[in-house]
Structure 1
């Protein structure tokens, strides 16, 4: 995600890559209930004659709560400035008996993960005279592997085998470094041999993704009749500026955050339309001179730093919104601590200034830690949500974007489906929300729509 402050800090969005995840993760449908208890089971994997034993952690998960035991309860988060080290994800070599119908390839983490780890893997033909070929000897696998906090440390990817003779081999590889984790062994060889025991399928119990459910008390609901805003906000209204002003030059933003009461004659940056509250970004018909320079683009923001009803410590934020799809737009839902930045929780961010970004398929979730205006860590994921979770069309229709902040974990959801989870390093903080469409371009800024439309915002407070 990005750092949204002036000064020497700059956005990290430039370094984000896309997890082009193929294949669907297991999901709970909205409203379903799943209770999953892991009881310290042990999985033993044999790979090319070697033995690896991994013991799973104990966890309990339902569609309304997230109680996951981990080794992080005694970790010193140093008041939100430190985060446990990332786990390292590796592929392991595997063996399969000639004539078998499936080969199992181990995917392992070297330690319990404090956050969701997502990796894309794909099969590759073998080499040499004993090479195995896709379509003849095995079926291509191009899929996603997801580890959630509390999961066992070993999964296996099953590869359907058509016909493998003694000594034939092919490979499984990581398409890119895993998101949320470090990269270990990125290429595994699968060999047909009767001399070694076949690599078994992992038998650990993995937590199913949660479905979103508001467990707090409804504290605020966006409503046209009661909606208020002003340039700097107030106890009962949104601000149309950020805490540090109306520009974010350090982020490379080229848009000025507008308010029609300050800049008369402009297209309304915030207004109620037929489908909801519109945050409108634009290329200005005439430049605006502000803080010593001309601004050619208009951005839009609603900031809750002074709006008491929008602030919670623990609980849930849930937006229903349709995203813009204009190149150079930078929409986001994010939270800032009422004690100052950082920390920051980014619920959704759309990097429309990046060439790879697809507004209909990509989502991004991040946390940033630190203090006194200095970031000490940043961790999160950018996901091709259609392939990873079966979610798409974020700029075509309305979708739900939510976060659940509990004392142990922070969990992100899109359309009710859990898409990311992180251990919560920010104990005792209160949060205020920001919803905005920034602009980061020097181009025409006239393709598609530059508007975010918010149909609903509900905020639930929990003890």
Structure 2
């Protein structure tokens, strides 16, 4: 999710939005690949995929609202249900117990995955419970998926239950995907109180399995690009230009053919490992819209490539992430009818000092109409801690999204990591993959390249 100011264009106007990176159009580019030149087929030779692919929204009746939100007015993708508020509840356990169950509760059904990280502290009462003596410290996560019960319990091992001994269970921070309610509660050993019962109901995470028909797959033969893009080539820029000053980005989106006389390093090349999307510090500034840019970024957009566009279905991106501070990689989807809506499949905020490329991911929905965002909903998370999935800079991982009439579900390496109720009734989507640059540094640490090994598009 990125703040973007869209520059005035015919039919667009000026607005601010949270999206990813830049672009425009112009046919017929070439690109170097491993000593060869891949020439994008000219627009007049392109062919449409089987079946009509309209840029108009599908019938609104295709939205299948889950029961918990049957009465909510999504206003054609411009409104979204409120976030659920999570709270820690008080809990009791009996002397002699080996475990205490502590309730974590939501105040309402959640339209999106909520992840609450909890930990323990020593008590403050007359009989103070002490970690390692009375209880064993924990650091755990409680996951609420849409449709789950509103209360779950976290388990704390008890070592020595002394009557009236207490300790505290608290949130580590505001729950990811939700709001903070009561952030801590006392857990007490008491033979006069009924012990808090375990509550673990809720659905298991989904495993990714494409339900659609394979519509496009990346290969040396199919992965082509040009300035404008067309049915057989991605565009190297987005409809609103090659720069994103509203994001405070310092990189210009390059095309090796358009800027062949500027002494740049090849921004795109196909190797045995996959498609290298290369970012760089420029030897001299390149000007766009009267502004000089000292860094080269890279974007590939499917806004003019109909075989990449679907209504309901799945997108899979297999990639290895950059490590360089100031790089900003992303896989995201935009409606063919215009922005918003937007679905961010993966985003890496490398310009933030706290961002860890190996273990952090971000997923976001942006809703609204007429280039005005009216809501955004999503989260960033430490997937290494929550799901045991990490090492995004050292190996290839599969980032996928499944768009269905009821839910949009995100996956990494086939495992569900996030889900949200789908507010977008029947929009069509096109993909974008890019690495933005947002820095004033020497931009030399680590690698600024994202390597894309595979892309698959499935249509339902």
Question: Which range, TM-score by smaller chain?
Answer: 0.7 to 0.9
TM-score, with length taken from structure 1: 0.86
Aligned Cα root-mean-square deviation (Å): 1.5
Aligned to 1:347: 345
Q: 1:226 to 1:258 in 2, by over 3 A?
A: same
Q: Does the Cα contact within 8 Å between 2:4 and 2:245 map onto a contact in 1?
A: no
Aligned to 1:9: 16
- Tell whether 2:203 aligns with 1:207: yes
- Tell whether 2:240 aligns with 1:233: no
For 1:255-334, list aligned pairs within 5 A. Answer: 255-264=251-260, 265-334=263-332
Aligned to 1:116: 113
Query: How many residue pairs end up in the alignment?
Result: 408
Counterpart CA distance in 2 for 1:209 and 1:5 is: 37
Q: Name the SS for the 2:385 alignment partner.
A: helix
- Tell whether 2:139 aligns with 1:132: no
Q: Does the Cα contact within 8 Å between 2:243 and 2:288 map onto a contact in 1?
A: no
Counterpart CA distance in 2 for 1:3 and 1:209 is: 31
Q: Does the Cα contact within 8 Å between 2:18 and 2:366 map onto a contact in 1?
A: no
Q: Does the Cα contact within 8 Å between 1:334 and 1:433 map onto a contact in 2?
A: yes
CA positional deviation for 1:128: 4.6
Gaps of 5+ in 1: 14-66
* Runs ≥4 residues deviating over 4 A: 10-13
Counterpart CA distance in 2 for 1:141 and 1:253 is: 41
Q: Does the Cα contact within 8 Å between 1:10 and 1:251 map onto a contact in 2?
A: no
CA positional deviation for 1:262: 1.4
Q: Does the Cα contact within 8 Å between 1:8 and 1:250 map onto a contact in 2?
A: no
Counterpart CA distance in 1 for 2:17 and 2:325 is: 20
Q: Does the Cα contact within 8 Å between 1:70 and 1:112 map onto a contact in 2?
A: no
Counterpart CA distance in 2 for 1:68 and 1:400 is: 28
TM-score, with length taken from structure 2: 0.86
CA positional deviation for 1:198: 1.0
Counterpart CA distance in 2 for 1:227 and 1:85 is: 41
Q: Deviations over 1:135-157 (max 9, x none)?
A: 01100010011000111111011
Q: Name the SS for the 2:307 alignment partner.
A: helix
CA positional deviation for 1:290: 2.4
Aligned to 1:94: 91
CA positional deviation for 1:292: 1.1
Gaps of 5+ in 2: 7-13, 21-63
For 1:9-408, list aligned pairs within 5 A. Answer: 9=16, 11=18, 69-202=66-199, 205-264=201-260, 265-408=263-406
Q: 1:451 to 1:393 in 2, by over 3 A?
A: same
Q: Deviations over 1:155-205 (max 9, x none)?
A: 0111110002111110000011111111111001001111111111115x3
Q: Does the Cα contact within 8 Å between 2:65 and 2:405 map onto a contact in 1?
A: no
Q: Does the Cα contact within 8 Å between 1:68 and 1:149 map onto a contact in 2?
A: no
Q: Deviations over 1:349-404 (max 9, x none)?
A: 00000111000000111100011111111111111111100001001100000000
Q: Name the SS for the 1:79 alignment partner.
A: helix
Q: Which of 427, 432, 443 does residue 429 from structure 1 map onto?
A: 427
Counterpart CA distance in 2 for 1:445 and 1:124 is: 42
CA positional deviation for 1:226: 2.8
Counterpart CA distance in 2 for 1:87 and 1:390 is: 25
Q: Does the Cα contact within 8 Å between 1:342 and 1:374 map onto a contact in 2?
A: yes
Q: Does the Cα contact within 8 Å between 2:227 and 2:236 map onto a contact in 1?
A: yes
